[in-house]
A and B are shown apart, each in its own frame.
Chain A
Amino acid sequence: MMSRRAERGLSGRHLGWALLWCCVFALGLYGDEAASKLSGPRANRAQTTTAPMGRSPTVVGGGNKPRARGETPSTAGVMHGPRRRGTAVYPAQDIPIRFNHGKHLLRGMDCAQCHTGIDASRRAADNNFPGGKVCDSCHTAQHPKPADVDANCSLCHTAVDDKNRVTAGLRAPRPLLVFNHELHERAGSDCEDCHGDMSKVRLATRLQLPDEQDCLTCHDGFGATDACSACHPTEASGRLQLRAIDDRSMPALVPRDDNSWGAAHDLAFVEDHAHISKANPKLCESCHDETFCIDCHAGSIRPMRIHSGDYINVHALDARAQTQNCQSCHRTQSFCLGCHERLGFGAEEGGAFAVGGSLSFHPDGWAGPPGMPQTHAHAAQRNMAACASCHTEDSCLACHATSKGPVAGLGANPHGARFRDSARCNALATRNRRVCLKCHAPGDAALDCL
C-alpha cells in the first residue's frame, strides 16, 4: 500500500469545494454577459465614449465590436504588462522636409491650422501630415504651381535635384498602434500632453510621438482603460498582433509582411519552447525580458499546468522519463537532492523507499557486486540526471573508483568500450585531470592516455 488510504466518501468540505468551484466556473462559462454587467458602465466608459448626436459610439482601438480580453491563467503568478519599456511601435520614417514648428507656433498658429484633419482622425494609420496646399495658404502657391510663379521647392523640400524637382517624398509607414485623435481631443487632451512642447521643435519626427510611459500617465485603469488591446492591435481572439514593423531591433524571424502566421505561440508552446528559444533567443527577447524567464526557471513561480495537482506523487515517473527537463528549473544536486536527503528517501533500512521497499525507485537486480545484474548501468547511460537527483558522486565512487583511488572502490570500469586513448578520454583528461583523479590514483597506468 502506498500510504494510509483515506476514508472513502465525500465530506462536507469536499462538497463545499466542489460547489465553490462550480460557481466560479459557471460564472465564467455562462455569465459573460453577467460579468459585463458586473463590470458596469465605468469600464465601458474607459473604453468608449458618449456618442454625439446621430453617431454610434466609438470604440478605442478601432472597429465597432467589443474586443476579446479574456485570458486563461497560465501560471499562479501575475502577468500584467511589460516590466521593461516596450519595443517601439513606430516604424522608421523618412521626412525629407525642412520645417520649424517653433517658428510657426511663435507666430500664433494653432496646430490644427496645418494638421487640418486631426480633429476627425480616428486611426493611427491616418495621414495627418499637412499637404502642400496647406502650406500654400500662407506661402507662395506651389501645389500646383501656377505658370507665372517660380518654383521654390527647396524652401520646404530637402530632396530637390538640380532641375528643381522633388526627388523624394514623405515615407511614414503606419504604426503598429491603435489611436484615435478625435476621442482624445474630446476627452480633453491637449496636443502637448502627448507630443510635448512643440515650441522648441524644428522638424517633428517619430521622436515626438508618445511612448508607453506617456500613455500610461492617463491610461492607468481608472481614468482610462489600461487594457493592452486599447493601444496595441489585437486579433479577434484578444491575442496581440505580432506583426512587426521595420525596426532594426526586431528579430528577422517575426514576419514583416501582411501576415503573422508563423510568429504566434501555439497552445503547446510552453512544453516545447526550450529548443525554439535556443535556436533564436532574439525572437524571445523581442517581447520578454529576463524576469519573464527567471520567474519559472529560478523556481518561484510554478506553472500550474506543468505541475498540476498531486504532482509530488508523480514526479518520480516524469524524472525517469525526462518528460520535462527537470534541470531547466530545478538543480538536481541541490533542489532535488536536498529534499530527498532530508525526507529520508532511500536512507532507512526497511523503509518503503529503501532497497527492496514497496516504493523503492530501483527494482530488483538494480546493482550489486560484479557478476550480478547491473540494470542501473543502462539507466545511468541514458538519464544520468535522474541518478543525480538522489545520489552524490560518493555513491558511484564506492564501486567505480579503483581500489587504489582516493576513495577505495571495487574498480568497476564505467567507461564505454574503447574509451582509453579515445578522443573523449583525451578531451576530458586534457581539460580536467582533477576528475580522473577521483577514481584513479596518481601514477595509475590508466592515466597515461595523454
Chain B
Amino acid sequence: MARRRRVRAPTLGRVLATLALPLWVAMSVAGEAQASEVRMTSRSIGEGYMVRLPGPEGQLVGRRRLAQYVNLGVFGILPPKESDQLRRDPEDGQLQVVASMRLRHDFGTFTRRASGQAADLIESLDGRQIDMMYGYLEGQSIARFFDFKLGRQFEMSGLDFYVFDGAWLRARTPAHVAVEIFGGQQVDGTAVFGFPTFELDGTQGTPADDSHSPMVGAAFALDAVKFADARFAYRRTWSPASINDSIPDVGGTSGVGTVVNQEFVTGQVALRLAKGKLSPFGSARYNLGVSRLDDLSAGVWWAMTEKHTIRAYYLRTIPSFDLDSIFNVFALEPFEDVRVVYQVRTGPRWTVYSRFQGRFFHASPTGELDTEPTERVAFGGGGGGGAELRTRRFGMRLDGYGLGGEGGIRTGGSVDTRTHVLYDRIALDARMYGLYYKDDFTEDREGYSISLQTGTNVRLGHGVYLNLLAEEIFTPYYKGAFRAFASLSVDGAFRVGQR
C-alpha cells in the first residue's frame, strides 16, 4: 500500500483564519474595548554544533536549529463595569486572548534516510515547520461563576500532557465545588498546525493516520477551599467511524471502525495543613483502556522549621501508549520510585540540599516462552547534593550526583554562576560540568567529559534581550566539541483604548 504523508501543509489562509477567530470573537463580545493591554513577544533561538558519532566510523553530523516564537496576548478586553473604575473588577468577569506560534527548522544533517515503517512519517514531520502551541479566548468569572476557554489549549494534569482544539467550561458553585466539561478534537498528526509533542499512535504509515479524534471529558474540583485542592476527572478520545468513513481500513474496506484511543479517570489531591508547613499531595490515573492504574504518586512536603524542609514521595508508573499501539501489550510491569529531598537554608545567602532517588524495576516470567528474569527486582538510583549562593549581583550553584544500578554508573558535578554588571544590563555566565559514565551492558560505553561554558545575557533595549552561550567539551573521544547558542527575545506591550 502506498504510504501517504500524514501532515498537510498549512496554508496562509488557514493560519490567518485560526488566529483571527478568537480575536474576532473577543472583540465582538467586548464591544467598545477600553484600556486593553496588548502584549507581543517574539523569540528567536538558534543553536549550532557538530557531533562526532560514537563508534569507529566517527562520522561528523551537523546540528543547526532555529526556532522562532511569536506570542500574542490581549488582556483586559472588557471595560470596567462602573464608569469610575480605573479597571474592571476581576469579580465582574474578564476576557483575554492568548496565542503562541512557533516556526522552526532543523538544518542539521543525517547520514541516511529513515527506513521501514518510520520513514515516511519521520520525513513528513520534518516538513512541519509551523506549530500552533496554543491560542484561545479565555473568560474568567463571567457572571461571577463561569470560566471558559475556547480554541487550542494545552493541558497538563493528572489526565495527561495533551493539546486539543475545542472548549473548556467551568462553573463554580456555592458549595465550593466546580464542575468542568471539556471537549474538542485532540491535536495529533492530522492537525493543520501541529503541536510538537504528540506521540505517534501505532497507526503510522497507514491511512488510519488521517482519522480525526474527538475528545470529551468532565471533572469535579474543589473551588476556593483554603486547605485543599482536589480534582477528579475523566477523559475519552476516540476515532468514530461516522466522521472517518472515507478512510480505507487496513483490509481495504471503506471507513475505519470506531475505536477508542485514550480513556482515563484521574484523581488528584493536595492539602495545606499546619498553616502551610505540611503539604501532602497525591495523584492517581486509572487507564480504562488497559484496565490498570498506570500512574500513582503520593508525597509530602514538610517545613520542619523556617530553615529546614523535607520533601518525600513515592511514585509508581507503567508506561502506556495510545490504544492504537501494540506497545501496551508488552508494558506489563511498573517501576516504583522513592525520592527524598532535604534542604537547609544555612544563612541569608546560602542554601544547601541533598537528594536520594531509588527506583525499583520489576520483571515477571514471560507467558508462553516461560523465560525467567535474571532478577525479579532491579534497582537503579543514587543521590546527590548541592548548594546555592545568591548575593547582590552574583549567583552560584554547585551540584554533584551519583547514580548506579540499572543503566550503569553516572556521576558528575557542576558549577553554574551568573554575575550582573553594567547597570544589571549584562549578565555573565560561567558554567562547568563534569561527567563520568559506565554502561552496565556495553563495556565500551565508558568515558568522561568536562564542558566549559561562558555566555552573556545582554539587555539591548526595552524588553530586548540577547543571550549568547559558547561551550567547549573535553572528552577522551573528541579533540574538541565547540557548541554555540544564541537567542534574541523581544517583549513589548501597549494599551489599546482610553482609560
Question: Is B a genuine binding partner of A?
Answer: yes
- Assess whether B224 is interfacial by the CB under 8 Å rule: yes
A–B pairs, 26, beta carbons within 8 Å: A25-B417, A67-B392, A73-B429, A80-B465, A221-B424, A236-B349, A249-B90, A268-B353, A272-B311, A275-B297, A298-B195, A299-B197, A304-B433, A314-B435, A339-B110, A342-B112, A347-B112, A347-B115, A358-B443, A363-B441, A382-B332, A387-B330, A412-B369, A427-B290, A428-B291, A431-B289
Chain B's closest residue to A279 (CB) is: B281
Q: Which of B69, B112, B256, B431 contacts A73 (CB 8 A)?
A: B431
Chain A residues lying within 8 Å of B83, measured Cβ to Cβ, are 200
Binary CB contact string for chain A from 228 to 270 against chain B (1 if under 8 A, 0 otherwise): 0000000111110000000011011111111111110011100
Q: Which of B39, B114, B195, B449 contacts A83 (CB 8 A)?
A: B39
**Cβ A384 vs Cβ B323 within 8 A:** no
**Cβ A294 vs Cβ B100 within 8 A:** yes
- Assess whether B171 is interfacial by the CB under 8 Å rule: no
Nearest first, the 3 A-B pairs at minimum CB distance are: A255-B276, A321-B407, A261-B303
**Cβ B396 vs Cβ A28 within 8 A:** yes
- Contact stretch, chosen from B12-20, B21-29, B48-56, B179-187: B48-56
Chain B's closest residue to A74 (CB) is: B416
**Cβ A38 vs Cβ B422 within 8 A:** yes
Q: Which of A196, A251, A323, A438 contacts B326 (CB 8 A)?
A: A438
- Assess whether B288 is interfacial by the CB under 8 Å rule: yes
Q: How far is the CB of A373 from chain B (nearest CB, A)?
A: 7
**Cβ A76 vs Cβ B487 within 8 A:** yes
How far does the alpha carbon of A279 sit from the alpha carbon of B268 in the complex, in Å? 5
- Assess whether A224 is interfacial by the CB under 8 Å rule: no
Chain A residues lying within 8 Å of B457, measured Cβ to Cβ, are 73, 78
- Contact stretch, chosen from A120-128, A134-142, A391-399: A391-399
How far does the alpha carbon of A397 sit from the alpha carbon of B301 in the complex, in Å? 45
**Cβ B392 vs Cβ A68 within 8 A:** yes
**Cβ B454 vs Cβ A416 within 8 A:** no
Chain A residues lying within 8 Å of B378, measured Cβ to Cβ, are 382
Chain A residues lying within 8 Å of B288, measured Cβ to Cβ, are 427, 431
Q: How far is the CB of B368 from chain A (nearest CB, A)?
A: 4
Chain A residues lying within 8 Å of B256, measured Cβ to Cβ, are 434
**Cβ B392 vs Cβ A36 within 8 A:** yes
Q: How far is the CB of A422 from chain B (nearest CB, A)?
A: 8
How far does the alpha carbon of A299 sit from the alpha carbon of B161 in the complex, in Å? 14
Q: How large is the interface on A (under 10, 10 to 19, 20 to 34, 35 or more residues)?
A: 35 or more
Chain B residues lying within 8 Å of A293, measured Cβ to Cβ, are 154, 156
**Cβ B332 vs Cβ A84 within 8 A:** no
Residues of chain B from 212 to 266 with CB closer than 8 A to chain A in the complex: 222, 224-229, 250-251, 256-257, 259-261, 263
Q: Given known contacts A71-B418, A309-B473, what 12 new A-B pairs fall within 8 Å (CB)? A: A3-B52, A71-B395, A73-B418, A255-B272, A262-B309, A266-B341, A266-B343, A275-B283, A281-B157, A310-B475, A316-B439, A329-B197
Q: How far is the CB of B63 from chain A (nearest CB, A)?
A: 10
Chain B's closest residue to A290 (CB) is: B154
Chain B residues lying within 8 Å of A322, measured Cβ to Cβ, are 335, 359
Chain A residues lying within 8 Å of B341, measured Cβ to Cβ, are 266, 268, 272
Residues of chain A from 190 to 241 with CB closer than 8 A to chain B in the complex: 195-197, 200-203, 205, 207-209, 211, 213, 216, 220-222, 225, 227, 235-239
**Cβ A208 vs Cβ B86 within 8 A:** yes
Chain B's closest residue to A388 (CB) is: B327
**Cβ A300 vs Cβ B104 within 8 A:** yes
**Cβ A341 vs Cβ B477 within 8 A:** no
- Assess whether A318 is interfacial by the CB under 8 Å rule: yes
Q: How far is the CB of B441 from chain A (nearest CB, A)?
A: 5
Residues of chain B from 122 to 164 with CB closer than 8 A to chain A in the complex: 122, 125, 131, 133-134, 154, 156-158, 161
A interface: dominant SS: loop
How far does the alpha carbon of A73 sit from the alpha carbon of B427 in the complex, in Å? 10
**Cβ B435 vs Cβ A308 within 8 A:** yes
- Residues A290 and B133 in contact in the complex (CB < 8 Å), given A237-B390, A383-B319: yes
Q: Which of B57, B259, B324 contacts A351 (CB 8 A)?
A: B57
Chain B residues lying within 8 Å of A373, measured Cβ to Cβ, are 371
- Residues A17 and B435 in contact in the complex (CB < 8 Å), given A278-B157, A359-B444, A382-B333: no
- Assess whether A297 is interfacial by the CB under 8 Å rule: yes
Q: Which of B86, B104, B157, B229 contacts A283 (CB 8 A)?
A: B229
**Cβ A39 vs Cβ B420 within 8 A:** yes
**Cβ B100 vs Cβ A290 within 8 A:** yes
Q: Which of A222, A279, A310, A318 contacts B283 (CB 8 A)?
A: A279
Q: Which of A84, A207, A283 contacts B85 (CB 8 A)?
A: A207
**Cβ B289 vs Cβ A428 within 8 A:** yes
**Cβ B345 vs Cβ A374 within 8 A:** no
- Assess whether A32 is interfacial by the CB under 8 Å rule: yes
- Assess whether A327 is interfacial by the CB under 8 Å rule: yes
**Cβ B467 vs Cβ A76 within 8 A:** yes
How far does the alpha carbon of A253 sit from the alpha carbon of B270 in the complex, in Å? 7
**Cβ B110 vs Cβ A343 within 8 A:** yes
- Assess whether B78 is interfacial by the CB under 8 Å rule: no
How far does the alpha carbon of A301 sit from the alpha carbon of B313 in the complex, in Å? 27
**Cβ A259 vs Cβ B276 within 8 A:** yes
How far does the alpha carbon of A147 sit from the alpha carbon of B86 in the complex, in Å? 41
Binary CB contact string for chain A from 351 to 367 against chain B (1 if under 8 A, 0 otherwise): 11100011111110000
**Cβ B100 vs Cβ A237 within 8 A:** no
Q: How far is the CB of B389 from chain A (nearest CB, A)?
A: 8
Q: Which of A17, A227, A375 contacts B424 (CB 8 A)?
A: A227
- Assess whether A66 is interfacial by the CB under 8 Å rule: yes
How far does the alpha carbon of A351 sit from the alpha carbon of B111 in the complex, in Å? 14
Chain B's closest residue to A343 (CB) is: B111
Chain A residues lying within 8 Å of B111, measured Cβ to Cβ, are 342-344
**Cβ B291 vs Cβ A333 within 8 A:** no
Chain B residues lying within 8 Å of A3, measured Cβ to Cβ, are 52-56, 58, 477
- Assess whether B190 is interfacial by the CB under 8 Å rule: no
- Assess whether A406 is interfacial by the CB under 8 Å rule: yes
- Assess whether B339 is interfacial by the CB under 8 Å rule: yes
- Assess whether B366 is interfacial by the CB under 8 Å rule: yes
- Contact stretch, chosen from A6-14, A158-166, A171-179: A6-14
Q: How far is the CB of B209 from chain A (nearest CB, A)?
A: 12
- Assess whether B299 is interfacial by the CB under 8 Å rule: yes
Chain B's closest residue to A384 (CB) is: B331
Chain B residues lying within 8 Å of A116, measured Cβ to Cβ, are none
Chain A residues lying within 8 Å of B222, measured Cβ to Cβ, are 252
Q: How far is the CB of B329 from chain A (nearest CB, A)?
A: 6
Q: Which of B118, B281, B335 contacts A392 (CB 8 A)?
A: B118
Chain B residues lying within 8 Å of A54, measured Cβ to Cβ, are none
**Cβ A267 vs Cβ B353 within 8 A:** yes
- Among B275, B302, B465, max chain A CB count under 10 A is at B275
- Residues A435 and B489 in contact in the complex (CB < 8 Å), given A6-B477, A377-B371, A424-B292: no
